[in-house]
């Protein structure tokens, strides 16, 4: 009986370690090509002029990766090999920038800046560090000639 419990316990520990290893391996593969940054995302966010939502709900912690004229956003706590969201540079419109407020400060990284955007008519918010924000805005403004860029 004790041997069965010991084997089950060791199998459970091995499974947990394997799961953590796969999380780490997935993040390494995402970051392999470079151009990645930590970025929280809130899809279909409320308009702050109408009803500001500082509850911290709806935020997903992730890693964003530049891929040509697109940003690919991957959830951190997922095993999915594909990005959860893909944002095209030509469809992103920056509408506001603000500091996290209320309970958002607990839901986001400590040095995060919240950037309000529209992507194909859907309001979303991206939260990233000041350095990542500088790179993101530079990437937006570096669109090829003839492409529309909307940075507020």
Share of the chain above pLDDT 70, in %: 89
- Split into its structural domains, the chain has a count of 2
Do 71 and 134 fall into the same domain?
A: yes
**Residue-wise pLDDT tens digits, 10-67:** 999 999 999 888 888 877 877 787 789 999 999 888 776 666 666 677 899 999 999 9
**pLDDT band at residue 70, thresholds of 50, 70 and 90?**
very high
What percentage of the chain exceeds 90 in pLDDT?
Answer: 49
- Establish if 150 belongs to a structural domain: no
Torsion of CA 118, 53, 107, 127, to 10 degrees: 20
What integer pLDDT is reported at residue 41 of this predicted model?
94
Are residues 96 and 62 part of one domain?
A: yes
Same domain flag for 84 and 66: yes
93-143 pLDDT, tens digit per residue, is 999 999 988 888 888 888 899 999 999 989 999 999 999 999 999 999 887
b/e for 111-143, b at 16 or more Cβ within 10 A? Answer: ebbbbbbebeeebbbbbbbeebbeebeeebeee
Same domain, 92 and 131: yes
Q: Is residue 26 part of a domain?
A: yes
Q: What is the reported pLDDT for 54?
A: 65
Residues 1 and 62 in one domain: no
**Residues contacting residue 118 through CB under 8 Å, at least 6 positions apart:** 92, 93, 95, 124
Mean predicted lDDT score pLDDT of the chain = 86
Distance CA 3, CA 6 (A): 5
Query: Is residue 73 located within the same domain as residue 108?
Result: yes
Q: Assess whether 125 and 73 both reside in one domain.
A: yes
Whether the predicted pLDDT of 152 surpasses 70: no
Question: How many Å apart are CA 52 and CA 107, to the nearest integer?
Answer: 16
Q: How confident is the model at residue 147 (pLDDT cuts 50, 70, 90)?
A: low
Residues of the domain holding 19: 1-32
User: 14 and 82, same structural domain?
Assistant: no
Give a yes or no: residue 149 inside a domain: no
Q: Is 121 left (phi over 0), alpha (psi -120 to 50) or beta?
A: left
- Token couple for 83: 């990005």
């Amino acid at each position: 009986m004790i041997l069965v419990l010991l084997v089950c316990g060791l199998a459970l520990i091995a499974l947990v370690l394997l799961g953590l290893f796969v999380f780490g391996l997935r993040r390494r593969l995402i970051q392999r090509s470079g151009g990645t940054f930590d970025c929280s995302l809130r899809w279909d966010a409320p308009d702050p002029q109408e009803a500001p939502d500082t509850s911290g709900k709806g935020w997903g912690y992730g890693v964003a990766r530049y891929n040509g004229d697109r940003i690919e956003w991957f959830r951190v706590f997922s095993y999915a090999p594909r990005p959860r969201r893909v944002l095209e540079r030509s469809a992103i419109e920056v509408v506001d920038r603000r500091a996290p407020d209320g309970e958002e400060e607990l839901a986001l990284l400590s040095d995060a800046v919240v950037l309000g955007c529209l992507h194909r008519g859907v309001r979303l918010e991206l939260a990233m560090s000041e350095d990542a924000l500088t790179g993101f805005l530079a990437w937006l403004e570096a669109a090829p000639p003839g492409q529309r860029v909307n940075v507020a």
